[in-house]
Chain A
Amino acid sequence: MKRKDIIMLLIVVALAVVPLVIVKTPAEGDIFLGADDKASALIGTISPGYQPWFEPIWTPPSGEIASLLFAVQAGLGCGFLGYYVGLSVGRKRTVRSADA
């Protein structure tokens, strides 16, 4: 991995950590809720009468289950991505040693 890539990854980490440090929890209400929660609250103030006409067919029964499914989603994605990059690295090495 090149130094440039490592710097880019460190910036990603910093962008995630900085808000955790500098944003203070408001006196009332929660912090770091999903932006879609904020959007539904906003819709509530713009059109107080609006009722969603369709409910999700299935909702994760708790926040824990939701984070389980998000972890599965990220895990499957990373697994395939890592498999593909690993395969490419191995293939390149094999080609190189065959050339030598």
Chain B
Amino acid sequence: MHIMEGFLPVEQAVGWTVVSAPFVGYGLVRLRRVIREWPEQRMLLGAATAFTFVLSALKLPSVTGSCSHPTGTGLGAVLFGPWVMAPLGMVVLLFQALLLAHGGLTTLGANTFSMAVVGPFVAYGVYRLVRGLRGSNAVAVFAAAMLGDMATYVTTSVQLAITFPDANGGFVASFVKFAGVFAVTQVPLAISGGLLTAVVFNALLRFDPAVLADLGFRRAKEVVS
């Protein structure tokens, strides 16, 4: 769930676009490098993008009584690093803004920042952290995707709270209200997104060990069949 079309004043819409632009720009540079230097990874890049498409279309019911969807940007961030997800996530947002009236063109910059920048960077950081603490790949991928997803919706709540501060409590009170809608709803969905990411990552590791080894991922000894 993203910020709706027209719901950010012009100066903020422009501001978030300016903030997101360098990430998308450098992400494109990284994307070109992957495509040029490692052609065999191109298909995997496509698969990571496809996964984001799928999860963004999965509007799941939550215990709060509303529906939202996971973002699925964690898989690509873990595999290729966070930068490439900025342009790839933006493509998904653009598709939904143009064809589904979901999110919007004026809010594309803000939504790109939350879903395609903050989410992937948090996911990548969490993955590194869990691996550094000797957690297994599956646990690290699950935690990365789940927390990256949560970070996206916390960011959305911050963005809306900046735009619409509460008349009495200001930014903080407004943030609590928006987080109640976006972030709390998202908790079980983020868990689902994390689990699905771990399942797909496991499958890639099992069936595509050569490409993943090139990316620096190796299967733990005990699961080599």
Contacts and interface: CB of A to CB of B under 8 A. Distances in A.
A47 interface: yes
Interface string B27-63: 0000000000000000110110011111011111111
B158 interface: no
A71 B53 CA distance: 11
Contact of A73 (B43, B95, B165): B95
A52 B6 contact: yes
A84 B43 contact: yes
Interface of B is mostly: helix
Interface string A24-67: 00100001111111111011001100101111111110000010
Interface of B: 1-7, 9-10, 43-44, 46-47, 50-54, 56-68, 95-102, 104-106, 138, 160, 164-167, 174, 177-178, 181-182, 185-186, 188-189, 191-192, 195-196, 198-200, 202-204, 207-209
A83 B185 CA distance: 32
8 contacts: A8-B196, A12-B195, A34-B59, A40-B7, A50-B7, A56-B97, A73-B96, A78-B54
B59 to A, nearest CB: 7
Nearest to A16: B60
A58 B98 contact: yes
B5 A34 contact: no
Contact of A35 (B9, B106, B182, B209): B182
Contact of B53 (A26, A60, A74): A74
A51 to B, nearest CB: 8
A39 B99 contact: no
Give the residue among B3, B47, B58 with the most A Cβ atoms within 10 A: B47
Nearest to B104: A56
Contact of B67 (A2, A15, A35, A69): A35
Nearest to A17: B61
Contact of A89 (B44, B165, B207): B207
A16 B99 CA distance: 26
Contacts of A84: 43-44, 46-47, 50
A4 to B, nearest CB: 7
Nearest to B13: A54
Q: 5 closest Cβ contacts across the A-B interface? A: A52-B6, A77-B53, A77-B54, A54-B6, A56-B101
A100 to B, nearest CB: 15
